[in-house]
Structure formats: C-alpha cells, structure tokens
Amino acid sequence: MFRSNFSVILAAAAIMSLPACEKGPTAVPGPSASPVQAMAATTPPSAAPAAATAAAAPLVGDGDKPAASMCDRSKNPTCATDLDPAVVAMHGPALTLDGDKYGQGITLVQSIKMSELAANPEKFAGQRVRVEGEVADVCKMRGCWFSMKSNDPGKVMKFKVTDGVMIFPTNAVGRYAIAEGMVRKMVLDLETTKQVMAHEAEEQGLPFDPATVKEPMTMVRIDGIGAVIRDKM
C-alpha cells in the first residue's frame, strides 16, 4: 500500500506531514452551524451561567472535542507542533464562505496551487497559505487531518492539526475543502520514515511492511489554522 520512493510529502495548520493521532475516546465530529503526507505519487464538565458558557466557547464550533492529547514523539516524530504565534495572529477577518467552518475559517483571498507548494517548499516554509481541493482521505482515529487531491494528478496534500483542536468527519471525503495554515517541511531519515509510515498505516487500519521502504522522504504539509469544507467548489 505504500511506496518506497517518496519525494515530497505535503500535510493544513500548513506544509503537511503524516498525522500524530493518539488513541482515545471516540469523538462526535460536527462543524459549526455557521464553520505534506503528502505530495506522494499515489492515487489517491461543571455547569456555568449561560453568559459564562458562551464566553468560554471556541471561536467556531468544531464538534464535541476531546481533550487534546499529547503526541508521543517516540512513536511519531512528525507530531503537530505549536504554530508560530506571529503567523497565527497575522490575518484579517474570516471570509464569508459557504460550508462547514473549522478553526479560524479562511482569511486569505488567494489560493496557491499544491503543485507549486510541493515544488518550492523552501520558498513557502513557515508562511501562511491557502490551498483547496477535493478531500481524498480523513484520519479515522481522531479526525485530526485530511488530505486533498492536488492539481497535479495522483498527488495529495495533507492538512494536519493537533488532536482535538479541530475534528474533521470521515464523511468529508469527496467534498471540497479550502484550507489555510502554515507550511512545514520535514526532512526524515530512513528509520524515521518507516516509523512515520507505520504509524499512519496503524491509524488507518492498513497493512504495512517496513522492508518495502528503501529511501527516506521529505515531508511537506500544511499545519492547519482554519478550513471550510463544503459540497462543491
């Protein structure tokens, strides 16, 4: 199921890598009433007054969120990391877009082609970007990432968030996503590549043979800040 020759892997809080999900209680995903895996060459609790409760509510409804789990870096070195506060803070108001909104939603007007992002990761690393495309897959364990089909046929880009910060439902597959986040590039050695791929296979319930991995990979993904998922472009 996995290829040994990985060139560039994207993952959206922006450049995207393999997820770092931890097993935990099943969450009930649900968007608000209003809310790189990679560029791989594969086909794709106490009561409170109402006012206080409202004040403590998240920026947007991201579903019934479990407590964010700490990613075990001994098992997955590509765990989501804290985003640069300056990058997170530098944005305008969320755009009014149809669809289910997650996190900050979408604030950037222009999208970047995933093929351009994959081809020039050094140019975009650490920057806040917007990409869009059809949802190809969603994390089945914690809903902490989704991948989008690139404009480059056979490639995908991953949008990754820390467990519990946003929860993406598995029925988002086949819908259209607009994602915004910070580009992240990770150069992995061979053993780390095997470790990361084994983790992804486990969370997706797929078989994996580390002996099939012969070369290290460079992962480019989007560490997510906000997204909108809808039924059409």
211-225, pLDDT tens digit by residue? 998 998 888 899 999
Q: What is the CATH number of domain 8-230?
A: 2.40.50.140
The percent helix, strand, coil of the chain (3-state, each to 5) is 20, 25, 60
pLDDT digits (tens, 9 = 90+) for 134-149: 999 998 888 889 999 9
pLDDT of the residue at 35: 32
Kindly give the parts of the chain with pLDDT less than 70.
1-84, 87
How many residues are present in the chain?
233
How far apart, in whole angstroms, are the C-alpha atoms of residue 87 and residue 14? 11
For the four alpha carbons of 107, 129, 163 and 86, in that order, the dihedral sign comes to: negative
Name the percent of the chain lying above pLDDT 90.
36
- For 151, counting Cβ atoms within 10 Å of its Cβ (0-12 exposed, 13-18 middle, 19+ buried), the class is middle
Give the model's pLDDT for residue 21. 53
Q: Which residue has the tokens 């086909």?
A: 43
- Cα separation, 9 vs 198, in Å, equals 15
Distances (CA, A) of 173 to 39, 147, 177, 206, 208: 17, 9, 10, 17, 23
The tokens for 39 are: 């560029």
pLDDT attached to residue 210: 87
pLDDT of residue 47: 32
Domain map (residue ranges) of the chain: 8-230
Quick one: DSSP state of residue 82? P
pTM: 0.64
Q: What is residue 78's predicted lDDT score, i.e. its pLDDT?
A: 64
The reported pLDDT for the residue numbered 217 is 84
What's the confidence (pLDDT) of residue 150?
Answer: 95
Residues contacting residue 4 through CB under 8 Å, at least 6 positions apart: 212, 213, 214, 215
The answer to whether 69 and 164 have CB atoms below 8 angstroms apart is: yes
What is the per-residue burial (b if ≥16 Cβ within 10 Å, else e) of 103-129? bbbbbbeeebebeebbeebeebbeebb
85: tokens are 């506060």
